[in-house]
Structure 1
Amino acid sequence: MATRVIPPRILGKLRYNTASKPLNSANSSLSPTLSPSPSPVLPPPTSVLRPAAADDLNFNDHHKLFSHLPTSDLLRSAAVLHATAVDPLVDFGTWLLRSNLMNVNGLREILLASVRHSFYNHFCAGEDAPAAAKSIRALNSAGLRGMLVYSVEDALDNHACDRNFHGFLRTVDVSRSLPPSSVSFVIVKITAICPMSLLERMSDLLRWQHKDPSLSLPWKQDCFPIFSESSPLYHTTKRPEPLTPEEEKDLELATQRFFELCQKCVQANMPLMVDAEHTSVQPAIDYFTYSSAILHNKTENPIVFGTMQTYLKDAKERLMLAVEAAEKMGIPMGFKLVRGAYMSSESKLAESLGHSSPIHDTIEDTHKCFNDCSSFMLEKIANGPGGVVLATHNIESGKLAAAKAHEVGIGKVNHKLEFAQLHGMSDALSFGLSNAGFQVSKYMPFGPVETVMPYLLRRAEENRGMLAASGFDRQLMRKELGRRLKAAVF
């Protein structure tokens, strides 16, 4: 990732070298890789995360944290976050938007307008590319960057895949038109450019090959390890049939779409982040990600990044295996670390198949896994190629990772490290990290309200716990609004 344009308010705080190398520069050379461990699993990080120093991070100064937000935006944010913290209201809203009332002419338009002027405007970047570009510029003026995502959900056929593919290509063009480094990543969902049924079939075959290495997959290219010994394989109950000629043709089309998107990102010098999804299709998504990384990650700054969901019990082991394999092959690899967003659906699927959930049994275990994986990746990129995006809404994890970055000498505003939060959420954490000098991005979906609706509904259901726990931000927003009211600042 290239270094952003640093706002003047941050310049005085920098203590480290902020220079970065361009992605895939012709003059860049691959950094020496680390000596691989003789064990198939790398040892855990040797150092312990410790909280950041109080003078580095300040999450309590509401005036400083929200100084760049207009009062109108602050009022809307406070109202939306308060509404999403009320479970009955979220339940009613999701029911309403999924009900037959959405098919009633007149009422549908009223409901969509209500969503547009409230939740949509809060969590999304705009309805089209120009609107998204405007949102990115406003975000960048406040010291943050954007992860731009054309917000489409699962594709069922090649026609939908082609339509979505062109949308992702346009997203790269939009990113190139914006000020340098204002966009940190373009996001792609493999489920939007490859039919879901094919991804499920590929995942079954990949899982079965892990059970039985003698299974031949003629379509499989070079790839990093996708599974660990602790990975759940219960999705595959019997030996799958090989891909049919029609499925192989569809796979060829999907591979070509992803290859062209990666090539466009290479030409644009723009990192591409592959989102993680359900475990039923995640093996195929990892296969696309890793095989493409081998082809396109040529300098120490990777173009193709994968996503690891650390609420999964096997996340840390899979991360270590993939990193070790990348080191052996001399391939720089980047990862986004998230906690995860499919908790209820994953647990229900596992239970229906008679297995325990693949998700950690306690939230404390999930926190520990995220922090351990963060520490591991920060140590790796401090001493070699690659990059990491720490996508967290947890303030303690932010403090620990900031301290670890300082400890291993990565420094702030560094092209190897990015923090990230969803647009419209955890603004106190985002601005606090940014004020301390770190690169911070917001995940910014864009598209027509009707197109983005599935994304909003999924976020409402899967992230209700996080939304309900947004009291810290709401409290700070109330204090800042009170301060502005007393000072007559509007």
Structure 2
Amino acid sequence: MAHKVACPKIIRSLRSFAKPHYFAAHSSITAVSPLHLDHILPPPTKTTANLRDGAPSQSAILNLDDVKELFSSVPTAMLVRSAINLHAAAIEPMVDLGMWVMNSKLMHTPLLRQVTVGTIKHTFYDHFCAGFGPAEAARTAAKIWDSGLKGMLVYALEHASDNESCDRNLEGFLQTVESAKLLPTSSVSFVVVKITAICPPGLLKRVSDLLRWEYKNDSFQLPWKLNSLPIFADSSPFYHTPRKPDPLTPEEETDLHLARQRLLKICQNCIEANVPLTIDAEDTSVQPGIDYFTYSAALMYNVGDNPIIYGTIQTYLKDAKERLIKSASSAEKMGVPMGFKLVRGAYMSSERQLASSLGVESPIHNTIDQTHACFNDCTSFMLEKIAGGSGAVVLATHNMDSGNKAAVKARDLGIREGNQKLQFAQLYGMADGLSFGLKNAGFQVSKYMPFGPVELVMPYLLRRAEENRGLLSTSAFDRYLMRKELMRRLKAAIM
């Protein structure tokens, strides 16, 4: 039965921004700094032709031409709303306006604050966020599970200021795990945590400085350090720590112990709920401390065949591949199953600005092609590990080419459909064409689903949008696929 179209006028309005000339105007490399882009797409017909005209084995993996099959589980009203919101989000000044409003004195005026928050709530928040609290996020995850996708529940908390706020955040994460337990088995693929939400960033920076100094100086010993996988490579950035840092004070050591206990509490609850935990990456000033937390916990809890704790590698960093190989190989030698989430990266502006201010080389690849190559190389390395019975990976990408290459490589290596050690992920509200294409090809696919109160989540999302401007402005192919399906449904409804 054909889908009923509730809003034909809205659908007609989509034509103006979903035509090829619109994509050509908004997907050019000159529009944004190229390293911000997860994927850059030519006009839609050429993009699908590239996938179709490549090697026959590739076209059999991801079928993005059959939009009826791609969006078969998506109601028309939701498809219309998604197309409109993606169009609005692709207009770069919207990010600037949102940043200005959220940081302006307007937010101190009760009426204007209420209007602003209400507007955001019913537009971008509803599109890109999974809900207000853990229970609502769980219900949203259950809905996408009906369409064959899993949910990565992300309580959008970061940058706690003290132990009191860390403890409050801990309760939020524990409630998230409890909510996941109430859902159908496997509908939630991961709970996601940022270490800066349970360990004050200032302390995390101190720990990172000490870890960097230890790596460069063999005689330097850290009495509080626990067993861990390799954190650094020789190519890692060390300019954050130009001189020998002072040892942790007794108070800092106590706070470090408390932070570790918070993470272990989350890990233990995830084990009891049988829900894996992914620890997100952040900027390089604190990433060594984050990796230390991640790997030391993984050595405790990753036993048996399937890892419960996953770390994150940002492949726009020049040392990403070397660090991944060292950590994964060390875990394999120790008999510890280690999972990694591969992303391109989300802190480019701040990383480059800091490096420039210090007069040192940026830690980020010089070109987008180098970043793509690093992501694909890291993907190949992990897929070969999985094929050999070691490790697990989440490929978090919106890049069609990377997704297709990974799918082809997995098939060629004999990684069977439904293998839990290989998963793909895209942001909730974005790249649905790729998500459904991978799902239809038999792979495990998740949506990264941030949630929390509007006023808490919007600054978080705006910061991510500021760091990833090109990600939204290059959603042209998503909008093209949605327009194509909406036009098909409209024609079916009036015939």
Fold-level similarity (TM above 0.5)? yes
Q: CA deviation at 1:51?
A: 8.1
1:32-431 correspondence runs (5 A)? 52-431=57-436
Q: CA deviation at 1:403?
A: 0.6
Identity within the alignment, %: 63
SS of the residue aligned with 1:179? coil
Asked if the contact 1:301/1:385 (under 8 Å) is kept, the reply is no
Distance 1:485-1:140 versus aligned 2 partners, 3 A rule: same
SS of the residue aligned with 1:414? coil
SS of the residue aligned with 1:53? helix
Alignment: residue pair count: 441
Q: CA deviation at 1:130?
A: 2.4
Per-residue CA deviation, residues 129-187 of structure 1 (Å, 9 max, x unaligned), is 22112211110000100001111121111111000011111111111100000000010
Distance 1:100-1:52 versus aligned 2 partners, 3 A rule: farther
Asked if the contact 2:152/2:447 (under 8 Å) is kept, the reply is yes
SS of the residue aligned with 2:310? strand
C-alpha distance in 2 between matches for 1:212 and 1:129: 44
Question: Which range moves more in the overlay, 63-72 or 375-384?
Answer: 63-72
Asked if the contact 1:52/1:399 (under 8 Å) is kept, the reply is no
C-alpha distance in 2 between matches for 1:455 and 1:72: 27
Per-residue CA deviation, residues 39-74 of structure 1 (Å, 9 max, x unaligned), is xxxxxxxxxx98853223111222221121112211
Asked if the contact 1:342/1:462 (under 8 Å) is kept, the reply is yes
Structure 2: state its 5+ residue gaps: 1-53
Q: Scaled by the length of structure 1, what TM-score is found?
A: 0.88
C-alpha distance in 2 between matches for 1:129 and 1:203: 31
* 1:318 partner amino acid: R
Q: Of the candidates 451, 454, 476, which is equivalent to residue 449 of structure 1?
A: 454
Q: Which has the higher helix share?
A: 2
Q: CA deviation at 1:99?
A: 1.0
Asked if the contact 2:229/2:296 (under 8 Å) is kept, the reply is yes
Per-residue CA deviation, residues 336-366 of structure 1 (Å, 9 max, x unaligned), is 0000011101100111111111000000000
C-alpha distance in 2 between matches for 1:314 and 1:287: 17
Asked if the contact 1:50/1:400 (under 8 Å) is kept, the reply is no
Structure 1: state its 5+ residue gaps: 1-48
Q: CA deviation at 1:258?
A: 0.7
Q: Of the candidates 455, 458, 463, which is equivalent to residue 463 of structure 2?
A: 458
Superposed structure 1 runs of 4+ greater than 6 Å apart: none
C-alpha distance in 2 between matches for 1:116 and 1:138: 19
Distance 1:172-1:51 versus aligned 2 partners, 3 A rule: farther
* 1:458 partner amino acid: R
Question: Which range moves more in the overlay, 477-486 or 251-260?
Answer: 477-486
Per-residue CA deviation, residues 112-142 of structure 1 (Å, 9 max, x unaligned), is 0111111101111011222112211110000
* 1:214 partner amino acid: S
* 2:256 partner amino acid: L
SS of the residue aligned with 2:59? coil
- 1:33 match: none
* 2:282 partner amino acid: E
* 1:53 partner amino acid: Q
C-alpha distance in 2 between matches for 1:157 and 1:217: 23
Q: Scaled by the length of structure 2, what TM-score is found?
A: 0.87
Q: Of the candidates 467, 476, 482, which is equivalent to residue 481 of structure 2?
A: 476
Q: CA deviation at 1:265?
A: 1.1
SS of the residue aligned with 2:265? helix
Asked if the contact 2:423/2:445 (under 8 Å) is kept, the reply is yes
Distance 1:230-1:263 versus aligned 2 partners, 3 A rule: same
Asked if the contact 1:413/1:437 (under 8 Å) is kept, the reply is yes
C-alpha distance in 1 between matches for 2:95 and 2:420: 38
Per-residue CA deviation, residues 179-216 of structure 1 (Å, 9 max, x unaligned), is 00000001011010001100000000000111112111
* 1:335 partner amino acid: F
Distance 1:433-1:279 versus aligned 2 partners, 3 A rule: same
